[in-house]
Structure 1
């Protein structure tokens, strides 16, 4: 069979007959990276096969980008994308095969049929929000969502082409002098701060895509990409023609600052209240039946506040370009030099004396410093050293070398001394909080596990014997076995005088909990509770546990509260099982952050979930809260804040990525809250402080 020919400008004259084992039947389209073919497998399954252009196949950097595309597409394959069937990024002509999805792109549909009516727009917005939720949940930022990358399938929109996507918790690299993305659908931060692009950029693009679907043009429209870029960064969007019921939500998606945009989860929630006519009918039934375009109902034009641009706006944008016509580099700098303030921002008063700070330490292993607060200092550790910082400005007060032994959490203040908590050392030492000098150093008995409760170290030997060591002196105070616990490992919580050991029955049906007085080793109470339980907090005389479902790979299915005084147990089932959640308790409300970014609040008294939000953080620390806000850190070094009452996103700090982004830290540092200030650390070695009263200013 002779090779296929493609007459499109810029495409190769000769196209291959096969990609791997897949027979290429016809050309579906050609883009900047390659040609997409309709193909069939040996069994006759229809596939869409993307084959890289020949001139790029020899480019090592391009092959790297293609590998990234394949990896991202495989991570997000599911209900809202085209599933990857096979790929070979190392072939002479790299290729990737996905399931063929019949249906036009959104760009083709609008070009052929004109703007969509409101009901279809709502379904499109809901479908894209669901798609972005799933994409972000696995840690990917698309970065090029546009009408040409949205397929209109019968069961809803599918997002395709992950050619410039990036994992949002890895190193983001951009090429000098190159614009990555499609300007009419790029977010302001993609022009101003390309290394800080996160999931919110995809939400901005969703807003632009909706305007295109509703009007046939974008919210920022010009023949010049330079003018479009200026408008995206500085001008208000033109929403003329967008249905009045959707315009406010689209406007929120197009907010200049990432933190002002809704999350995909919030979009789906709000879309359900936009109109009683919201439904889940097939996406484009008229087109699938071969009928013509549906007429768009007459709607009232939005109020001028939605940003209809005037001739003066465009003239000013053109005038700005005259100043930078010498080159794109100068234009890029002009955009970076003019940040857009958040709506509703108010200046700080002189009475507010807080000043944010950050200090960058040399990271040794690509992991973030771990910090706690004690003796009026921020006490931090990195592999090899422990140090103290002044909370007001981050200046280093002292540093103490502890060798290269891996640390076991942050140093803490116990017995009036700084305890480095280095792991598995035959010798332990305690430091003077004022100077960092060694106050005592002792040889310890052999131990497999170490806990710190009150003023005592609890060291568990291989035979189950526990030794209590005074943290103020380093002296051993008691040594004994704990009844009912073969090899007890202890957990303790701030403000609680007891330490807790747990052991689970062989079949996982029950957990034996023993509460021990760390000063003496005496058992204060003992209980057998239903299920596989792990303690995570104690408050108001109760201990809180996460309950794991051992039949589903140990996923958490409930939160349990046990009150020893009354021996009362309260179990609240989670609506959805959560994978490896971190949890904290404040009063009677438990806050959980699961792997994949699911954040939720559970009221133990009311026995119900208060709220749930998908944060799009692939991996986070344990959440901490101050009564009004919930904070946690992400793997890319961001500190995020959510409203404790509603789950609404409030603010986040920029990513601070490790120079060794290919390494995954074993644990992420928990934020530290002191007097309304939040202290956090990042994988690039930075320790920083921000004002906890108003995270929207971060």
Structure 2
């Protein structure tokens, strides 16, 4: 590789061929502080690596700021940000690597294609609001949100370059003809009192970015950056050209005083309440037709096809089915009157065939599902529904009262009834699994969280007190506080009679783990374990934890604890993993991290069994059976891997359509039942495949 020349301030210097062990292949862009390169790791993964200019690398104060910002950037994660993979602020030329996200910047997109249409503007605004929510949750303020720091990826907008420190004298200094900080996208307080800048400044920038996307200019416009700075502080924004339905919301974002601006959560709620759905989709300049093959969905019988139909053929088939009868149409759409439950043949007498069912609920992302009472129980956008696991036809549907988005989990079977409320919301309700009719309802005052465990619902109030509610009757069985936990949030695992709550010390040095009997509220055992631990599973009486770095949020080790013997096993990971999710099956832990790193580890033997780079940027929590490991990806694919050898053995087509491509921060994990695998996708579909032969997916 020929040496690359430095661009930017200071004397020219040849750039290195490597940053750490990442080979720099080409220049993606340059700015006042450094050059961003397309790079590859040893596994071939594409990365965007920013290498700091030599002049700034010599400045000790800049290095100190850069170290702090790298630490903060590592803590930020979400569907609409680019995760940090690696960094070395101590290198001769400090650098930071993030996942490479193909797609133009918003700035380039507007230059090439002109202003965005209203539907795309709403999706952009929703995605940026969610990104700011994730950034602000970990105490980071972006301070430089602008069109060139927003990438338009296939699965939605991504915020990049957040939290990168600027040289101490750069607030109004030019960088290749522009101003560092970009005054049209800076809040008034960034000029008046820069040391007091908080998260509301990012909301102001979001408003300015939306004006730019809608009009091709900022809300404050002048050839002089100093005039723009005056306008930002004193003048009203120019919203000419901004669509009327979002103009009032944009104006609130551009309020002069920080306290008058909405929070990212308020923005998300406002956007949900508009006529447009809260979706994100691919940002493409002109409509295009994509014919994606679908897996077989033989609802009417065991008919085999030698060729899978195109989406156009499927849609034509749906139209024919609507003419023939609602019974067949319900297999492809969740809506309308439900067939009688006694019309479903007992599962043991039926043959399974792959199927795809499309929900008709507006808004929402991928449905969240579980298996219970011989049915697939799912929720999406305030609707709970049951599907026939052998054909995908809808058995019943129920609208959830006091629905709060999609919650943080699927409906589950507890106490013989379907429990829709397993996340947040004051309203509790239990449904008959056969008909979907309400069996009991109850409103809880000041409810904070709900978790189903066994035949009980554990309800944590805002005051920290826990109420044990019998899932079958809705009656209170006990009410108490859990010692050592001011606001317990419970985790439970299939087949385990106990529920667990954890409390990590402020300095991250230890985690208090308490196991509670959900039937009585009695504490069965209580133990303080070293480090910041997050439980992810139980097996053979032992509880399994991820050991997470308290500063960077990376998973650095696996830990298991046997409360009967008091023994612990721990294993330091060969490489720390970002935003890892894990499951345990037959003593083997399967770990999936952001960026697609999938590995199998034997904790007892402290041995890495295999490692694979899947090239999936974000995946769900993996699940495993005796032979395979499965997880869902952000583009709607279900992937299967050989659990013994760690090789890809099957995957379904992507299901991230341009008319409904919402990406959620958390992807629902697949469901395994009777050798079949059920999954859902961002386009609202739920689908089923045979887990015995993934190669035919």
Output the CA distance in 2 between the equivalents of 1:536 and 1:427.
28
Output the CA distance in 2 between the equivalents of 1:100 and 1:439.
59
Output the CA distance in 2 between the equivalents of 1:363 and 1:45.
58
Matches within 5 A, 1:319-398: 353-362=351-360, 364-398=362-396
Q: Is 2:678 the partner of 1:679?
A: yes
Q: Which residue of 1 aligns with 2:214?
A: none
Output the CA distance in 1 between the equivalents of 2:362 and 2:592.
28
TM value normalised by structure 1: 0.54
For residues 387-427 of structure 1, the C-alpha deviation after alignment (integer angstroms, 9 at most, x for no partner) is 01101110011110114422321111100001102643332
Output the CA distance in 1 between the equivalents of 2:427 and 2:155.
41
Output the CA distance in 2 between the equivalents of 1:127 and 1:520.
54
For residues 216-262 of structure 1, the C-alpha deviation after alignment (integer angstroms, 9 at most, x for no partner) is xxxxxxxxxxxxxxxxxxxxxxxxxxxxxxxxxxxxxxxxxxxxxxx
Unaligned 5+ segments in structure 2 are 16-20, 49-81, 83-97, 104-150, 157-280, 294-348
TM value normalised by structure 2: 0.54
* Count of paired positions: 413
What's the offset of the Cα at 1:507? 1.6
Matches within 5 A, 1:275-314: none
For residues 515-551 of structure 1, the C-alpha deviation after alignment (integer angstroms, 9 at most, x for no partner) is 1100000111111111110111011010000001114
With over 3 angstroms needed to count, the CA separation of the structure-2 counterparts of 1:424 and 1:617, relative to structure 1, is same
Q: Is 2:538 the partner of 1:427?
A: no
Which of 31, 40, 43 is the matching residue for 2:10? 43
CA contact (8 A) 1:133 1:616 kept: no
Q: Which residue of 2 aligns with 1:578?
A: 577
The 3-state SS of whatever aligns with 1:566 is coil
What's the offset of the Cα at 1:98? 6.3
With over 3 angstroms needed to count, the CA separation of the structure-2 counterparts of 1:554 and 1:497, relative to structure 1, is same
Q: Which residue of 2 aligns with 1:436?
A: 436
Matches within 5 A, 1:3-42: 41=8
CA contact (8 A) 2:152 2:282 kept: no
Q: Which residue of 1 aligns with 2:28?
A: 84
Output the CA distance in 2 between the equivalents of 1:523 and 1:99.
53
Which of 282, 287, 306 is the matching residue for 1:171? 282
For residues 304-352 of structure 1, the C-alpha deviation after alignment (integer angstroms, 9 at most, x for no partner) is xxxxxxxxxxxxxxxxxxxxxxxxxxxxxxxxxxxxxxxxxxxxxxx99
What's the offset of the Cα at 1:46? 7.4
CA contact (8 A) 2:544 2:560 kept: yes
For residues 537-568 of structure 1, the C-alpha deviation after alignment (integer angstroms, 9 at most, x for no partner) is 011010000001114x1211001000011000
Matches within 5 A, 1:121-520: 130-134=43-47, 138=99, 140=101, 167=154, 171=282, 353-362=351-360, 364-403=362-401, 404-408=403-407, 409-421=409-421, 423-520=423-520
With over 3 angstroms needed to count, the CA separation of the structure-2 counterparts of 1:352 and 1:589, relative to structure 1, is same
CA contact (8 A) 2:595 2:618 kept: yes
What's the offset of the Cα at 1:364? 2.7
The 3-state SS of whatever aligns with 2:25 is coil
With over 3 angstroms needed to count, the CA separation of the structure-2 counterparts of 1:43 and 1:352, relative to structure 1, is farther
CA contact (8 A) 1:672 1:679 kept: yes
The 3-state SS of whatever aligns with 1:696 is helix
Q: Which residue of 2 aligns with 1:664?
A: 663
For residues 25-69 of structure 1, the C-alpha deviation after alignment (integer angstroms, 9 at most, x for no partner) is xxxxxxxxxxxx999655353799xxxxxxxxxxxxxxxxxxxxx
Q: Which residue of 2 aligns with 1:630?
A: 629
Output the CA distance in 2 between the equivalents of 1:100 and 1:424.
43
Q: Which residue of 2 aligns with 1:607?
A: 606
Unaligned 5+ segments in structure 1 are 1-36, 49-76, 89-96, 102-125, 143-163, 179-192, 197-350
The 3-state SS of whatever aligns with 2:695 is helix
The 3-state SS of whatever aligns with 1:559 is strand
What's the offset of the Cα at 1:482? 1.4
For residues 125-149 of structure 1, the C-alpha deviation after alignment (integer angstroms, 9 at most, x for no partner) is x98974445489936469xxxxxxx
Output the CA distance in 2 between the equivalents of 1:436 and 1:581.
36
CA contact (8 A) 1:139 1:617 kept: no
CA contact (8 A) 2:364 2:662 kept: yes
CA contact (8 A) 2:412 2:452 kept: no
With over 3 angstroms needed to count, the CA separation of the structure-2 counterparts of 1:557 and 1:194, relative to structure 1, is farther
With over 3 angstroms needed to count, the CA separation of the structure-2 counterparts of 1:81 and 1:195, relative to structure 1, is farther
What's the offset of the Cα at 1:443? 2.1
Output the CA distance in 1 between the equivalents of 2:350 and 2:682.
30
CA contact (8 A) 1:387 1:397 kept: yes
